[in-house]
Structure 1
Amino acid sequence: MRPTRTVTPRQPALASHPRGKFVALAVLCLAELVGVMDNTIINVGIPTLGRAFDASTTQLQWIVDAYTLVFAVLMLPGGYLGDRFGRRRILILGLLGFAAVSLASALTTQLTVLIGLRALLGICAALVFPATLSLISTIFNGTRHHALAVGLWAATAGLGIALGPVVGGLLLQHFAWPSLFWINIAIVLPVAAITPFLVPESRGQNLGRFDTLGVVLAVAALGLFVGSIIEGPQLGWTSPLILGGLAASVVLAVAFGAWERRVASPLLDLSLFRAPHVPACSSAIGLAFFSLFGFTFAITIYFQAVRGYSALQAGLAILPFAVVMGACSPLAPVLARRFGPGRCIPAGIALMGIGFWIVSFADATNPYWAVMVPAMVFMAMGLAFAQGPATDIILSAAPRDEIGVASGVNDSIREVGGTIGVAVLGSILTHVYRDQMAAAIGGSGYLGSAGDSIMAAQQLAAGLPEPGAQTLRSAASDAFLTALHLNTQLLTAIMLVAAALIAVSFERRSRR
């Protein structure tokens, strides 16, 4: 009797061809790029959307936050689904969903519907993002190009953050706001069409029963935590609702940890965080994106409100970051092999700190090339040298069956870190600005709205006669720069201290 043979779906013939592996890498990085860009492409369209829908500030904020919240919360379950049902299958499902929801978003005429659709886009992105990284890690597993491939994936994430405002500004200069969603369709549909032919399927084996309770606890804990962080600046960090949400998220996180330790087939094998250097690498990634997202939020306002750039000019001003990030990312694995990740990762975090320190000298008149370009060069070099090797270590520590979950952990740390960065640093920016403006305008009640934001101050100044208008603009610019300098000085201190602690952690673990 002939032995039975398991029949598997036909795979793209690239497993033995390095060129085919890099073609698959390019396809996966393009899929990743869309999800990252949607974090920032919508930001430059906020004023346009506000006029189109006659929206309040809170409603406009939720156009951005609905995507960020769902994206951050669901990446861990998204990676888990890929491990179980096929990473390529989940990737294609996410891409097709992204196209369908983008189409609905471009056609909607209701603001509440648009906010809900942005949340659905976050669900689709949470399926796509972990699948791209886990597929790349699987394709290059055991090859000498694994670290390079992961580094290029990490570079694409940095590029997407910087390219989002540029692409958004270009689109809005020539088209209406729905173009911010049409661009998604133009990218993801071709990628979804060619993925079955260029990217091999992979999934975990012997994963046991589906951890339903683990998924529910993880989503609830992360959802309450990220939601509380997002709403903290608006409702007040000491408000009962925010404190209650943060406390509940901690309780749920503890319950999640206890359940994952006892269940036979956990959503997240917590032993991942006991693997060598994984805690240090996770901290490095979280801090890098905490600082980067917070900085990007503030510097976009600086370019437009203080320097007077248009939305497109502000986006183009961030391009040096993308260029340097793309150039340095392939060097990161080389440096990590030459000097060791225990030196490369802390050095990258320290370089980011130097970049933030340079920004603390920015004002309304100094040349862009003298301050902002050198600052972005240091930041991009630092992110490239830290992120790629740190991500490679986290993925290498995970079992092959659970690479999707490890990708989800890595991606969640990035997104949650970035969300906290925008909320915390944005809150500091707002409070310092308001304090400075309160001292500058004194008891001038009719100027009270100028203390809300630098944009409000400029709108008010436009209706005032000279020299009062110029005086108000100068006061608002000085107040914002004071807040920006404080933020960058704090980031400098945080990153330099973190670099030292991460270096010590690597050294101690290596001695053990």
Structure 2
Amino acid sequence: MNDRHPDRPAAPRRGLALLTLCLAVLVAQVDMAVVNLGTRPIGEHFRAGVTALQWVVDGYNLAYAVLLLTGGLLADLYGRRRIFMLGAAVFTGATVLCAAATSVWMLVAGRALAGLGAALLMPASLAIVRVVWQDARERGRVLGIWAACNGLAMAIGAPLGGVLIHRFGWRGIFLAVLPFSLAALLLARPSIPESSDPRGRSLDAGAQLAGGLALGALAFAAIESHEAPRVAIAALAVALAAFVLFVRIEGRRGATALVPLDLFGLPAFRAAMIATAGMTFGMYGLLFLLPLHWQQAGLLDATRAGLALIPMALLFVALSPFSGRIVAQLGARAVSCAGVAVIAGGLLLVALGAGHASIAWAEAGLALAGLGMGLATGPLMAEAVGAVDAARSGTAGSLINVARIAGATIGVAALGAFYAMAGGGAAGLRCAMLAGAAVQAGCAASAWRTARPR
């Protein structure tokens, strides 16, 4: 199969295609959000320790990180719709396995399988957007809606998880997403045109192993950074060595590589990678530390901490659909870099409010962070997939997701370390947020310079 120039579907089918893609993104993100709330009842049901429960959450993240590059290449080689449907089917099966788990390690296996499904779904969904919506302005609008689904998942994930656990037990959090993943699977064939473009490329086994090892070891280092720092340092060393090997392998393969290195010679693509990594570095560090600080300081319990995050998510959802229109007026470079800088401003406000009895400063910072995410997320995805040929859209989709997960993984680990080194509490939060704001501002400035017209 080599449909290099697929027919664009008619307008009604394109609307259905967008709904299908949004369902997949929403399902994957909500699933991640609600599982965090289910760890306590899962632990009580299986009498599981902290380590096992940590892997219930992180088994998904690790599998996703290891297989992300593979998912993007498979979409380009064998068909974006086919791999999207395969990802939806795997995710659906994994959800059933999780809901039916009879042991905690069976649940961990189901979560890892869900990570595989997401690694196939996410790059394929971005590649499909690149192929179906070929006009840059229209693609920007579509990716704004696609990005809004991430914010919607943040907004509904915590409250939905709490209700489901209260009414149906922990198995309900998995069964609730099943109808939506099935809908995405069933709607894909009639709404999404098939496309692929191998162009002499292959699965590139050596690069697959090296790239997967680099991403997996990086994720593992973040997972173990708090409980086993020496293990984390060793894993980080493995990640760096694997990354060097990966670059050497890809440099020799040239245009047929798993990740053709000439993509990074494209200023817009390189800038999108830098800004995306910076964006998730600060955001995920914020979302990890702020609820933790609220609960440890006795300001809010877990339920109220989840509710306090909703205004940020709603601002993200409200602004994202209009980001394409804003880009049309101001340009992608200005909007995406400004969005990352606005998030940095939000982290600064949280730092200034650390130690206050009121959460007003933190809420103002979260509002800025939500606005920044709404401004930046869609344009950054559009820049990444729009900077490359449609033939490489799956690879571009996987790489921008690599930037997202790498930034998030390093951000949680690094800002968590700053928090701990400063003794936790208000001082720890202030130190971590200042560090996160500095990194984000630096990434925004670097992306601005990188993407400047030549």
Shorter-chain TM-score bucket reads over 0.9
Q: CA deviation at 1:303?
A: 4.0
Alignment of 1:381 onto 2:326: no
Cα deviation 1:67-97 (Å, max 9, x = unaligned): 1111122111101111111111111111122
2:9 aligns to what? Answer: 15
What is the alpha-carbon distance in structure 2 between the residues aligned to residue 115 and residue 195 of structure 1? Answer: 28
1:203 aligns to what? Answer: 196
| Structure-2 change in CA distance of 1:45 and 1:431 (3 Å) | farther
What is the alpha-carbon distance in structure 2 between the residues aligned to residue 90 and residue 145 of structure 1? Answer: 24
Alignment of 1:498 onto 2:448: no
Q: CA deviation at 1:28?
A: 0.4
Q: CA deviation at 1:308?
A: 5.2
What is the alpha-carbon distance in structure 2 between the residues aligned to residue 165 and residue 423 of structure 1? Answer: 22
Alignment of 1:221 onto 2:211: no
Q: CA deviation at 1:288?
A: 0.8
| Structure-2 change in CA distance of 1:14 and 1:336 (3 Å) | closer
Equivalent residue of 1:15, what SS?
coil
| Structure-2 change in CA distance of 1:143 and 1:351 (3 Å) | closer
Alignment of 1:178 onto 2:168: no
- Structure 2 unaligned segments of length 5 or more: list them: none
Alignment of 1:489 onto 2:434: yes
Q: CA deviation at 1:151?
A: 2.1
Q: CA deviation at 1:431?
A: 3.9
User: TM-score, normalising length from structure 1?
Assistant: 0.82
| Structure-2 change in CA distance of 1:216 and 1:416 (3 Å) | same
Trace 1:60-459 onto structure 2 (pairs within 5 A): 60-142=53-135, 144-236=137-229, 239=230, 241-263=231-253, 265-307=256-298, 309-362=300-353, 366-368=357-359, 370-433=360-423
Paired letter, 1:277: A
- Between stretches 404-413 and 343-352, larger displacement belongs to 343-352
Q: CA deviation at 1:345?
A: 2.1
**RMSD of equivalent CA atoms:** 2.3
| Structure-2 change in CA distance of 1:7 and 1:162 (3 Å) | closer
| Structure-2 change in CA distance of 1:432 and 1:175 (3 Å) | farther
Cα contact 1:169–1:315 (8 A) shared by 2: no
What is the alpha-carbon distance in structure 2 between the residues aligned to residue 277 and residue 87 of structure 1? Answer: 23
Equivalent residue of 2:176, what SS?
helix
Cα contact 1:98–1:184 (8 A) shared by 2: no
| Structure-2 change in CA distance of 1:223 and 1:376 (3 Å) | same
Q: CA deviation at 1:173?
A: 2.5
Cα contact 2:419–2:428 (8 A) shared by 1: yes
What is the alpha-carbon distance in structure 1 between the residues aligned to residue 169 and residue 2 of structure 2? Answer: 50
Trace 1:11-50 onto structure 2 (pairs within 5 A): 15-17=9-11, 19-50=12-43
| Structure-2 change in CA distance of 1:505 and 1:97 (3 Å) | closer
Paired letter, 1:427: A
- Between stretches 75-84 and 43-52, larger displacement belongs to 43-52
What is the alpha-carbon distance in structure 1 between the residues aligned to residue 293 and residue 25 of structure 2? Answer: 28
| Structure-2 change in CA distance of 1:268 and 1:498 (3 Å) | closer
What is the alpha-carbon distance in structure 1 between the residues aligned to residue 96 and residue 391 of structure 2? Answer: 35
Q: CA deviation at 1:41?
A: 1.6
Cα contact 1:349–1:386 (8 A) shared by 2: yes
Paired letter, 1:389: P
Q: CA deviation at 1:411?
A: 0.9
What is the alpha-carbon distance in structure 2 between the residues aligned to residue 135 and residue 278 of structure 1? Answer: 18
1:451 aligns to what? Answer: none
How many residue pairs end up in the alignment? 451
Q: CA deviation at 1:140?
A: 0.4
Cα contact 1:173–1:312 (8 A) shared by 2: no
What is the alpha-carbon distance in structure 2 between the residues aligned to residue 307 and residue 328 of structure 1? Answer: 32
Q: CA deviation at 1:365?
A: 6.6
Q: CA deviation at 1:273?
A: 0.7
What is the alpha-carbon distance in structure 2 between the residues aligned to residue 297 and residue 486 of structure 1? Answer: 14
Cα deviation 1:407-430 (Å, max 9, x = unaligned): 000111111211222222223333
Q: CA deviation at 1:301?
A: 2.1
Equivalent residue of 1:234, what SS?
coil
Cα contact 1:429–1:484 (8 A) shared by 2: yes
Cα contact 2:285–2:436 (8 A) shared by 1: no
| Structure-2 change in CA distance of 1:289 and 1:319 (3 Å) | same
Cα contact 1:235–1:242 (8 A) shared by 2: yes
- Between stretches 309-318 and 184-193, larger displacement belongs to 309-318
Q: CA deviation at 1:325?
A: 0.9
What is the alpha-carbon distance in structure 1 between the residues aligned to residue 60 and residue 440 of structure 2? Answer: 28
Equivalent residue of 1:42, what SS?
helix
Q: CA deviation at 1:43?
A: 1.1
2:425 aligns to what? Answer: 480
State percent identity of aligned pairs.
Answer: 29
Q: CA deviation at 1:363?
A: 5.6
Cα contact 1:39–1:161 (8 A) shared by 2: no
Cα contact 1:82–1:203 (8 A) shared by 2: yes
Cα contact 1:14–1:198 (8 A) shared by 2: no
User: TM-score, normalising length from structure 2?
Assistant: 0.92
Cα deviation 1:40-85 (Å, max 9, x = unaligned): 2211122222222222222221111111111122111101111111
Higher radius of gyration, 1 or 2: 1
| Structure-2 change in CA distance of 1:155 and 1:132 (3 Å) | same
Paired letter, 1:15: P
What is the alpha-carbon distance in structure 2 between the residues aligned to residue 242 and residue 317 of structure 1? Answer: 32
Cα contact 2:24–2:88 (8 A) shared by 1: yes
Equivalent residue of 1:177, what SS?
coil
Paired letter, 1:489: L
- Structure 1 unaligned segments of length 5 or more: list them: 1-5, 434-478
